[in-house]
Amino acid sequence: MLELFFCNVGDGDAILLREHRENEPDYTVLVDAGRPFVEPQNGSLRKEAIYFLKAAGVERIDRMYLSHLHIDHIGGAMRILNEISVGRIEALCFPPDGAKWLMPSFTSTDKPTNGLLHMLNIFRDLCRMAAAKGTALVPVREGAERLTDRLTVEPILPKATVIERQKRVFDALYRGEPVDEAEWFRASKERNVSSVMLRFTYAGRSILLSGDRYASDFEDLPIEPCDIWKLPHHGDPKSVTEPLLEKLSPRIAVISCQSDATAKKDRPNAGVIALLQSSAEFVLCTENKPLPTMRASTHNGVLVTIDEQGQITCSVV
């Protein structure tokens, strides 16, 4: 049996996949790790990803995938590494040898460029900790790979131009080399569309985890339908288009979001929820915001199970 647990980490992503196998250890995958700190809120069950892993009795993670360099996706990874054995981490690219600590500007107030430096420092420290603990750092590669007898993963990479620009800019910054400001700004703003998407298959069922990659950026790909879809970008207006929804035709749509308003962000968007509900059998949020077709409620997360015959069940827990 495969369990998928979409953790309620507030405004962020952390998805735990565990295949329970007879007479063998469970195979465990974590996709993203939420924020380093999730502020408790009255009436909310949101918390850091590490607490969900500990409560589930996870002692080892075979693979951790980090979709892209935003704090709400990789911020909690260091705490997890400190507490739980991780076999390997996969991401689009990693810091070069000798990567320097990056200093933010003391004169510029530009958020995208200074924010990128902050995330590159976090990622540098995360990779150093992983290497010290014997965790393999493996760049994500295209092509389906069998993880177990029943569980397969197929990464869907960003556009080649985005990959090339990010690696060029990130490596130059890490080495202390000069970087064109326009390229620096663009690489920072492209972090969402640089998300590595993952398609898992189990017992004939398909699961698409799309990071924060905007729907318009991949709706033209020759992408196959899926049974379970984790929407990108927390269900905001950029997360879905009608052509993409028609192409994917998910039975279950899951949105990782929080119940209270986030400044300048519409997550999840009422129109997105209505569009999903017109197509998918189940539309579930890790935490419900009050919307015309959805009552406010809080959960620990969304649990989806697939048995060995491909039967799917889903619930909020």
At residue 262, the pLDDT reads 80
CB 102 within 8 A of CB 117: yes
Name the pTM for this structure: 0.97
* CA–CA separation, 285 and 291 (whole Å): 12
At residue 94, the pLDDT reads 98
Q: What average pLDDT does this structure show over 120-127?
A: 98
At residue 111, the pLDDT reads 82
At residue 86, the pLDDT reads 98
Q: What average pLDDT does this structure show over 272-281?
A: 96
Is the confidence at residue 131, as pLDDT, over 90? yes
Q: What average pLDDT does this structure show over 92-103?
A: 95
31-35, 76-80, 102-106, 199-203: segment of lowest average pLDDT: 102-106
Is the confidence at residue 285, as pLDDT, over 90? yes
* CA–CA separation, 91 and 114 (whole Å): 22
pLDDT digits (tens, 9 = 90+) for 8-18: 999 999 999 99
Q: Percent of the chain having pLDDT more than 70?
A: 100
pLDDT digits (tens, 9 = 90+) for 35-93: 999 999 999 999 999 999 999 999 999 999 999 999 999 999 999 999 999 999 999 99
Q: C-alpha angle with apex 152: 93 to 147, nearest 5 degrees? A: 75
Is the confidence at residue 263, as pLDDT, over 90? no
Q: What average pLDDT does this structure show over 25-40?
A: 96
pLDDT digits (tens, 9 = 90+) for 223-249: 999 999 999 999 999 999 999 999 999
The domains found in the chain, sorted by start residue, are: 2-316 (3.60.15.10)
Q: What is the mean pLDDT of the chain?
A: 96
At residue 73, the pLDDT reads 98
At residue 236, the pLDDT reads 95
At residue 22, the pLDDT reads 86
Res. 191 pLDDT band, cuts 50 70 90: very high
